[in-house]
Amino acid sequence: MGSATSRLLAPGLVLGHEEIVIDIDGTLLDAHSEKQDATPTYKRGFGFYPIVSYLDETGEALAGLLRSGNAGSNNATDHLEVLDRALDQLPVTPSETEMLVRTDTAGATHDFVDGCRERRVRFSIGLPVDQRVREALRLAQEEDWQPAVETDGSARDGAWVVELTGLIEHGWPEGTRVIARRERPHPGAQLTLFDIAEGFRHQAFITDQTDTDIATLELRHRHRAHVENRIRAAKDTGLRNLPCVDVVCNDAWLQLVLCAQDLIAWMQSLCFDGALRVAEPKRLRHRVFHAAAAIVHSGGRVIVRFQHTWPWTRDIVTAFCRLRVALPG
């Protein structure tokens, strides 16, 4: 079961974008008691390992798949099922709008890449820095490395990108490109022996995008980190602990959490500006959801009175006004 309510308002938030980017990622959820389908996880915990997907442009939750804790990270079938559920939520199809799906190295399987091709969705997938990638990195000439960029177009300090497509036998479908980034490691970074020897931290990804600006492609893939923020927000919205013994009820809980994230995304897009437009659930609860108010009836009207000294009262009142304009019924 996907996040069914996403069809209600998603068109208004999505249709203004030239490209739709879908992020897919998994996260571990601990179970503190015996629950159906809870199993040991690869991090030696106990619980569940759901996969979720989000629309990067709006922050909306698109779909989620509840899995047992011992589910495989590289399970292409599960990734494709979540992708199909996510595509079903969108008001447009891949034939109508350019679409890109991003995953970490868990999506680096031939079945998933082939499935993206069949669905006419482009991909940007993390690639493990294995022996083939390391050998290609050694073949890359120093003059081939280009400065990595930040979102504002400025150069990313201490980071460079290079395309390895012609230097590696990757075995991926025709048109797949291999791009890598090297970066001066920050204090505390976990480095491999190869990274220590080279003096840089290396990351790589594969994509079938045709843009010739590899720095832009690398920046777009780096923005996959947005999904980690949204998963953290999901855990702050109720996903941190599945409350039921029955797996069907827990799956329903997962879908309700995703629906709640949709409602928050729509509220922030339609009603707020500034910090509240991008605030995470904890801040919204403190400033908006838990604001003290009194409901009174006067002249046949229902009036909500907020405390005038509350610093965010003006934002809340403005949000109510905007909501009444957007949804006059």
What whole-number distance in Å separates Cα of residue 122 and Cα of residue 125? 10
- At 230-264, the pLDDT tens digits run 999 999 999 999 999 999 999 999 999 999 999 99
Last residue of a domain, one of 262, 287, 304: 262
Torsions phi, psi of 123, nearest 5? Answer: -130, 155
* Ranges assigned E (strand) in the chain: 19-26, 29-30, 39-40, 46-48, 51-55, 61-65, 98-103, 122-127, 146-149, 155-163, 177-183, 201-207, 293-298, 301-306
Last residue of a domain, one of 238, 262, 286: 262
Q: Are residues 147 and 100 in the same domain?
A: yes
Residue 279 lies in domain: 268-326
Q: Are residues 313 and 252 in the same domain?
A: no
**Greatest CA span in the chain, whole angstroms?**
79
- At 85-114, the pLDDT tens digits run 999 999 889 888 999 999 999 999 999 999
Q: Are the beta carbons of 294 and 313 closer than 8 angstroms?
A: no
Q: Which two tokens stand for residue 79?
A: 């990734």
Residues in the chain: 329
Q: Which residue bears the tokens 């990757």?
A: 170
Q: Are residues 206 and 284 in the same domain?
A: no
Q: Are the beta carbons of 10 and 90 closer than 8 angstroms?
A: yes
Q: Are residues 201 and 125 in the same domain?
A: yes
What whole-number distance in Å separates Cα of residue 321 and Cα of residue 327? 10
What whole-number distance in Å separates Cα of residue 37 and Cα of residue 78? 16
| 27 pLDDT more than 80 | yes
- At 116-141, the pLDDT tens digits run 999 999 999 999 999 999 999 999 99
| Predicted pLDDT of residue 1 | 37
For the chain, how many structural domains are there in total?
2
Q: Are residues 219 and 90 in the same domain?
A: yes
pLDDT band at 227 (very low <50, low <70, confident <90, very high): very high
Q: State whether residue 137 is helix, strand or coil.
A: helix
Q: What is the pTM of this model?
A: 0.91
